[in-house]
Structure 1
Amino acid sequence: MDQKSDQISAEVPDWTRERPTQFWDPGRKLLLTIRRYQHWQERPGLLARYFRKAIVLRHRFWSVVTGADIPLNCRIGGGLLIPHPNGIVIHPDAKIGVNCLILQQATIGYRGPSRSGFPEIAGHVDIGAGAKILGGIKIGAHAKIGANAVIVSDVEPGAVAKGHWR
């Protein structure tokens, strides 16, 4: 691992990674709507219900703009970075740890009834463009998933997975 990746925590979220840096920042704005929805989802009352409905509309807008399918009820740790959110698909039952990086066209999801379960991704995992992480598998902290890799079995912490990982 290089020196910079050693400095990124797999346990403590770096919320500055998700903060929009400019007016037009679709990936971060999409994450912001997800975070706000989850905040208001826990609150009862009429005001909370109004905010949730408004946030759902914003989420739909940013989902169309980005072309990403990241549900409002997904389980994503803080500090997620999606610099190019186009085509990212995340199953609502997948778990993603803190400070992860997901590039465009990545899929994190279900593999079918033959391989039940959903992916669990630990903290500070980098997922390359076009990668597919499928089924009830675990990706260890600080792992790197190569571009267009198809991951269908566990990846050890700090490992580099590329191609078809079995």
Structure 2
Amino acid sequence: MKESKVSSTIPDWGREECRGFWDPGRKLLASIRRYQHVQDKTGLIFRIIGKIAVLQHRLWSVISGADIPLNSNLGGGLLITHPNGIVIHPQAKIGPNCLIFQQVTIGSRDGGIPSIGGHVDIGAGAKILGDIIIGDHVRIGANAVVIESVPEGCTVVGIPAKIVNKG
């Protein structure tokens, strides 16, 4: 497997830093992170911060057209460059330093929920469905429909997705 400069285990939090006022993907992630940070804490100030985070999440969800629940299990360093149309199941697990493009669905199939490794690049329009495991450093092509587990370092494309390049 080629050496990658992006870690699949250590989150690069700089990838999530907002680059200005109009940065819907990062603003949406910031509201999710803020909510998750205060949700188990007690006290008036934490309840207020939590309510503000919920309102911000709703605002940026409407603006971006993304459906990413507040209780999502998202690894650090997640990059959502074009958040429109992204749908993530609340129980799906996404590893650190992943890249998700527009119109991606990560969801349930026959009751199973996917688990995505670290530093996975998911192309526009891809669908990842079912009780499957996506390994670290995987690349998923645009509009691919992934319904089977993918080993580490592979590239998958097509409907249904097939491995075209093994790390």
Q: Please, what TM-score do these two structures have when normalized by structure 1?
A: 0.93
How big is each residue's C-alpha offset from its partner over 1:71-129, in whole Å with a ceiling of 9 and x where there is no partner?
Answer: 00000000000000000000000000000000000000111xxx332000000000000
Runs of 4 or more off by more than 3 Å in structure 1?
A: none
Structure 1 alignment gaps of length 5 or more: none
How big is each residue's C-alpha offset from its partner over 1:49-71, in whole Å with a ceiling of 9 and x where there is no partner?
Answer: 12111111110000001000000
**2:69 maps to which of 57, 68, 71:** 71
- Equivalent residues in 2 for 1:11-160, closer than 5 Å: 11-111=9-109, 115-160=110-155
What is residue 5 of structure 2 aligned with on the other side? 7
What is residue 161 of structure 1 aligned with on the other side? 156
Deviation at 1:42, TM superposition (A): 2.1
How far, CA to CA, are the matches of 2:121 and 2:143 in structure 1?
Answer: 13
Deviation at 1:38, TM superposition (A): 0.3
Aligned residue-pair number: 161
How far, CA to CA, are the matches of 2:56 and 2:143 in structure 1?
Answer: 30
Deviation at 1:2, TM superposition (A): 6.5
Structure 2 alignment gaps of length 5 or more: 163-167
Deviation at 1:150, TM superposition (A): 0.3
The AA in structure 1 aligned to 2:156 is: A
**Secondary structure at the counterpart of residue 7 of structure 1:** coil
Q: Please, what TM-score do these two structures have when normalized by structure 2?
A: 0.93
The AA in structure 2 aligned to 1:52 is: G
The alignment yields a C-alpha RMSD, in angstroms, of 1.2
Deviation at 1:46, TM superposition (A): 2.2
How far, CA to CA, are the matches of 2:35 and 2:43 in structure 1?
Answer: 14
How far, CA to CA, are the matches of 1:161 and 1:44 in structure 2?
Answer: 45
The AA in structure 1 aligned to 2:77 is: G
